[in-house]
Amino acid sequence: MKLFSLTAHEILDLLKAKKVKAEDVVSSVKERIDSVETRVHAYARVFETREIASEGNENLFPIPIAVKDNICIKDNETTCASKILKGFKPPYDATVIAKLKGAGAVFTGNANMDEFAFGSSCETSCFGPTRNPWDLERVPGGSSGGSAAAVAADETIWAIGSDTGGSIRQPAALCGVVGLKPTYGLVSRYGLIAFASSLDQIGPITKDVRDSALLLNIIGGYDENDSTSVDTPAKDYTKSLISDIKGIKIGIPKEYFIEGIDPEVGLSVKAAIEQLRSLGAIVKEVSLPHTEYAVATYYITATAEASSNLARFDGVQYGLRSIPKEQRKNPIVDMYEETRNQGFGLEAKRRIMLGTYALSSGYYDAYYLRALKVRTLIKQDLDKVFGDFDAIVTPTSPTTAFKIGERMDDPVSMYLSDIYTIPANLSGIPAISIPCGFSKNNLPIGLQIMAKAFNEEMIFKIAYTYEQNTGWHKKRAGI
């Protein structure tokens, strides 16, 4: 039995039964990293020392976990896969890290990502691209591509990522694992290096739905350090893992099955929907009329916020500082401009400039304000459907994993790979991606399930029922 291939809940059972020790699991995962990491490159940095909390405490989860490189771990270099944060060691723990430490988590390393989470392919990392464990010529998706690839390649038992426009769900879909974007406000953002503050959310990337619920139990909950954290009573999400969806009303948005969708993805998702129907769900077609505006709305609001969030990377306090040889404007401005020119990659520059433009005098109303208004329309579409339905089921991504380099020169086509995942961020609702089949090329296909805000239970229930009745999640990447 290879311990690294197990899920967290399987390992916890073995630990409880005293059939294995935490250090066996940790060394198994370490060996796995040693054997496949050079090919997958899921990590920005692999940790050498891995402390294991004392055993014997029933409530501990001494499970190896990969942490996306944009979540602060005290005194540990955290760079968002950007040159500009080279050497930055935050003097504090993100709230989710503090919670994980409290639960006895064993950190395997920082998972690779698109620079500042700007991307859907993990190709914009300053550490170079992560490869999809199912096909090393292809991208793992992004931006949490490292987290998803690490889970898919068994280089960790589970992982956390962040999702601003699909950055957990899309790579989960492309890597054949389970990725959850919780409701905005459920998981503290304190210590998550912000991309777009009104959209970002940390969430679990796991091998199955039970692990997703378990990990959410650990990282979720109110945090007084995050003004946008919602003070709701703690829940045990494993309680909603019941294989029964009889009578549950599921809406299928017709706008999601038209242009641009890969026929193989369409077929798999439709088959999954039929399966849900046969399991007792009431499935009906619904309309989300403003779907076609979601990507544009997202790119304006997200880049506007990002342009401001990333302004602090100026070489003054931490990270890279670069001073040009010859004076251009004045000493301090030259330092800013050169540091940011050297420190940011091309996509980061594009997005910062797009966001700056959208907020700048004369364009604010036409771009930023208008996008916030369309955001209202997109949210209203979803609210309306949730008035009558318990969940919405869609493909996670219009295509399976694409080839490395294929979309790098065409930002708009890259942006469109998030078309199905963006609406959940714009409206704050929870959404999961679970495996629902494979293409002829043996590439995973993801199914997205969305529910009302703070109704993660509904998502887990449907996802669990589907998973238990299909078993796609058991298929492992043959690396």
Query: Applying CB under 8 A, does 99 fall inside the site for another protein?
Result: no
| Residue from 51, 137, 225, 287 in contact with another protein (CB under 8 A) | 225
User: Within positions 431 to 460, which residues make up the interface with another protein, using CB under 8 A?
Assistant: 453
Annotated active-site residue 68? The verdict is yes
CA angle 285, 290, 294 (to 5 degrees): 115
Query: Applying CB under 8 A, does 123 fall inside the site for another protein?
Result: no
* Closest of 185, 170, 165 to residue 116, by C-alpha: 165
Annotated active-site residue 427? The verdict is no
| Residue from 137, 224, 244, 388 in contact with another protein (CB under 8 A) | 224
Token pair 């009431």 in the structure block, residue: 282
- Closer to another protein by CB, 58 or 231: give it: 231
Number of residues in the chain: 479
Give the separation between CA 108 and CA 29, rounded to whole angstroms: 8
Query: Applying CB under 8 A, does 228 fall inside the site for another protein?
Result: yes
Phi/psi at 296 (5° precision):
-65, -45
User: Within positions 371 to 410, which residues make up the interface with another protein, using CB under 8 A?
Assistant: 371-377, 379
Q: DSSP letter for 18, please.
A: T
- Closer to another protein by CB, 123 or 211: give it: 123
Helix (H) or strand (E) holding 105: none
Phi/psi at 463 (5° precision):
-65, -40
Distance of CA 310 to the CA centre of its chain: 20
Least Å from the CB of residue 395 to another protein: 21
Q: Choose the binding region for another protein from 19-27, 40-48, 145-153, 339-347 (rule: CB under 8 A).
A: 339-347
User: Within positions 277 to 296, which residues make up the interface with another protein, using CB under 8 A?
Assistant: 290, 292-293, 295-296
User: Within positions 180 to 219, which residues make up the interface with another protein, using CB under 8 A?
Assistant: 184-185, 189-194, 196-198
- Closer to another protein by CB, 283 or 296: give it: 296
Q: Are 245 and 280 in contact (CB under 8 A)?
A: yes
User: Within positions 341 to 360, which residues make up the interface with another protein, using CB under 8 A?
Assistant: 341, 344, 346, 349-350, 352-354, 356-357, 359-360
3-state helix, strand, coil split of the chain in percent (to 5) is 40, 15, 45
Give the separation between CA 111 and CA 104, rounded to whole angstroms: 19
| Residue from 11, 63, 72, 174 in contact with another protein (CB under 8 A) | 72
Query: Applying CB under 8 A, does 5 fall inside the site for another protein?
Result: no
> Which candidate in 30, 68, 99, 181 is catalytic?
68
Token pair 């777009």 in the structure block, residue: 196
Least Å from the CB of residue 206 to another protein: 23
| Residue from 45, 257, 336, 468 in contact with another protein (CB under 8 A) | 336
Q: Are 118 and 124 in contact (CB under 8 A)?
A: yes
User: Within positions 10 to 69, which residues make up the interface with another protein, using CB under 8 A?
Assistant: none
Give the separation between CA 129 and CA 113, rounded to whole angstroms: 8
Binding-residue total with another protein (CB under 8 A) = 96
Query: Applying CB under 8 A, does 427 fall inside the site for another protein?
Result: yes
Least Å from the CB of residue 165 to another protein: 13
- Cβ-in-10-Å burial (0-12, 13-18, 19+) of 388 comes to exposed
> Which candidate in 125, 147, 167, 212 is catalytic?
167
| Residue from 136, 282, 335, 408 in contact with another protein (CB under 8 A) | 335
**Letter string b/e over residues 31-58, b meaning 16 or more CB atoms within 10 A of that residue's CB:** ebbeebbeebbbbbebbeebebbeeeee
Query: Applying CB under 8 A, does 369 fall inside the site for another protein?
Result: yes
Annotated active-site residue 143? The verdict is yes
- Closer to another protein by CB, 225 or 243: give it: 225
Pull the structure tokens for residue 27: 């060394």
Q: Print the binding letters for residues 294-333 with another protein: x by CB under 8 A, - otherwise.
A: -xxx-xx---xx-xx--xxxx-xxx--x-xx---x-xxxx
CA angle 397, 399, 404 (to 5 degrees): 110
Residues noted as catalytic: 68, 143, 167
